[in-house]
Amino acid sequence: MKPINIYSLTRINDASQLSRLEKQLSGRGGHLKIKAWETEGLRAFCSRLAQVYENAASLKFYYSFTLPKLGKEFDLLRINDEYVINIELKSGNVSDEAVQRQLIQNRYYISALNRNMVFYTYISNTDRLVRLSNSGRLIEADWKELADVITKQGSCADSNIEDLFKEDKYLISPLTDPGRFLRQDYFLTSQQRDIKKQILRHMDVTFQGFTGFPGTGKTILLYDIAMQISRHDRVCVFHLGPHTAELKQLDQRLKRIDFFYLKDGQLEVPRDYSAIFVDEGHRINETIMKQICDFSEKWKAPVIISYDREDAMHEEELRNGGAAMIEALPGFVRYRLTNRIRLNSELSAFIRCVMWLGEKNHRSSYPSVLPAYSSNTEETLLQLKSLQDEGYVFIRDDLVCPEAFKAMEDSEQTDENNTIQIEVSEASCKEYDNVVMLMDDSFVYDDHGYLRHKDSAAADQRVRNLFHGLSRAKQKIAIIVVNNPEVFEAVLSIVQ
């Protein structure tokens, strides 16, 4: 979407014509529904600015831009390499607190551009212009001041604004970025806020939870809800993943939330709690599930669970997984996160197609996916090293191509900071720009097109590890298929 001349836009009264003109000027993918009061407010803004700025009729702004996966909208933006000017338009009565809250939220999102920023709100029915100060206060502003800011900024960029804002900048994990979480330096998406509201409204329900693909922001939502409830009650969080060090840091600094992790396959809990939160619920087994249910019954405490959605896998594997046990809980209420913030649509579609060849493939190309083939350990190691040199993180499953891992250990081809390679369980709740994984000759597609493993006892874990490992990627995926021409042919068929 490109910036448009808003003065030109406001010369039109017909709503249909206005929407069609805006689409033509901005290059927006669809028609924007512009309400009458929005047009009136925009027209009033142009008129007031023209009184103090000679070239107001020629100014361009990005108009009504929305971060698609986050549901965050900006009314007017002017952006260049040094400055960002954000102006929000209001027509009716609105409290100063609401205006201040919106501008502070806007500052959070725009700060990712790392440029000088100014934030205004124009309230047309009272002809009032206000500005957000550097300290976050709302102060009165005048039009000459705004004109001077625009003059100082100079030109506005003419590029597509989507290239500037990447949604993955705004998804944080309390486990990989505890500092930002503790500072509450994040905002929930509209979908996350809706689910949070529903869960808090139904805390009388014993079992509630939400699912979604990796990258939809489940962990931050779960911990945010726990934070809110902990303001008046003591709660506990059971994290079923491996992040003990990060949990200890959170546990030390959050006094009304206690964090626990598995120790010898058990949960050791010293006291009662008013609410139970479970993260990485898809890892749960029958023993842990029984423990949690016993705690809930004993304490009269509701249970809120987050877990990955894995329905791209074979139904037999799903029956054996934690998600099936969770959804079988009596009276369980499920919510679903669908907006994938971290993982882009190209990688998401590719992963689903790898898991199941019957998945509808709506893409004609996958420029961010690199398939590779090797016939033996030596070729595998050479290609791995080449990809690691290019910045790919190798997420390994030690039971896939075990001979390659032994050779790597023998040659000491490791990274002491664990940035070049990481075990798949340790990659949980983390993300990397580029990811490479292996598929050996133990993988096979069944008659229905589902990816399976030749060892039925290990099938669910090997396929699940591949799914979750690939889902850690934000920008690029590489798959090295080892001595398995049938699977390599399937991968090539997906990307072409």
Residue 412 has pLDDT above 60, yes or no: no
Closest to 42 in 3D by CA, of 14, 68, 65, 64 = 64
Closest to 327 in 3D by CA, of 309, 302, 314, 300 = 309
Burial class (CB in 10 A: 0-12, 13-18, 19+), 299: middle
Computed over every residue of the chain, the mean pLDDT equals 87
> Is the model more confident about 111 or about 129?
129
Residue 83 has pLDDT above 90, yes or no: yes
Residues 95-115, buried b or exposed e (16+ Cβ, 10 A)? eeeebbebbeebbebbeeeee
Predicted pLDDT of residue 194: 93
Query: Is-contact 470 435, C-beta < 8 A?
Result: yes
Beta pairing class for 432-439 and 275-279: unpaired
Closest to 60 in 3D by CA, of 2, 119, 118, 120 = 2
**Strands of 60-67's sheet, edge to edge?**
4-5, 60-67, 72-79, 83-90, 116-123, 128-132, 138-140
Predicted pLDDT of residue 78: 96
Predicted pLDDT of residue 120: 97
Distance of alpha carbon 156 from alpha carbon 77, whole angstroms = 9
Residues in the chain: 496
Global pTM value:
0.69
Predicted pLDDT of residue 460: 57
Query: Is-contact 69 341, C-beta < 8 A?
Result: yes
Distance of alpha carbon 153 from alpha carbon 147, whole angstroms = 10
Choose the most confident range, by mean pLDDT, from 177-186, 278-287, 403-412. Answer: 278-287
Residue with tokens 């005048």, as numbered in its chain: 142
Burial class (CB in 10 A: 0-12, 13-18, 19+), 52: middle
Q: Which of 24-38, 394-408, 412-426, 482-496 has the lowest mean pLDDT?
A: 412-426
Predicted pLDDT of residue 407: 72
Predicted pLDDT of residue 61: 95
> Which helix (H) or strand (E) is 105 found in, with range?
helix 96-110
Predicted pLDDT of residue 456: 61
Q: Which domains does the chain have, with CATH numbers?
A: 4-163 (3.40.1350), 170-336 (3.40.50.300), 345-495 (3.40.50.300)
> Is the model more confident about 282 or about 373?
373
pLDDT in tens, 211-256: 988 778 898 999 999 999 999 999 999 988 776 677 777 888 888 8
Closest to 436 in 3D by CA, of 379, 384, 491, 378 = 384
Predicted pLDDT of residue 318: 55
What is the average per-residue pLDDT within 330-355? Answer: 84
Going by pLDDT thresholds of 50, 70 and 90, the confidence category of residue 417 is: very low
Six-digit token string for 402: 């075990």
Going by pLDDT thresholds of 50, 70 and 90, the confidence category of residue 416 is: very low
C-alpha pair distances (Å), 384 with each of 343, 360, 371, 389, 479: 23, 30, 12, 9, 10
Distance of alpha carbon 100 from alpha carbon 140, whole angstroms = 12
Residue 175 has pLDDT above 80, yes or no: no
Query: Is-contact 439 487, C-beta < 8 A?
Result: yes
pLDDT in tens, 362-393: 677 899 999 999 999 999 999 999 999 999 99
pLDDT in tens, 184-204: 878 788 889 999 999 999 999
Long-range contacts of range 312-315, CB-CB < 8 Å, 24 or more positions apart? 312/351, 312/352, 312/355, 312/356, 312/359, 312/467, 313/355, 313/356, 313/450, 313/451, 313/460, 313/463, 313/464, 313/467, 314/356, 314/446, 314/448, 314/450, 314/451, 314/452, 314/463
> Which helix (H) or strand (E) is 246 found in, with range?
helix 244-253
* Other CB atoms within 10 Å distance of the CB of residue 27: 10
Predicted pLDDT of residue 314: 60
Query: Is-contact 82 115, C-beta < 8 A?
Result: yes
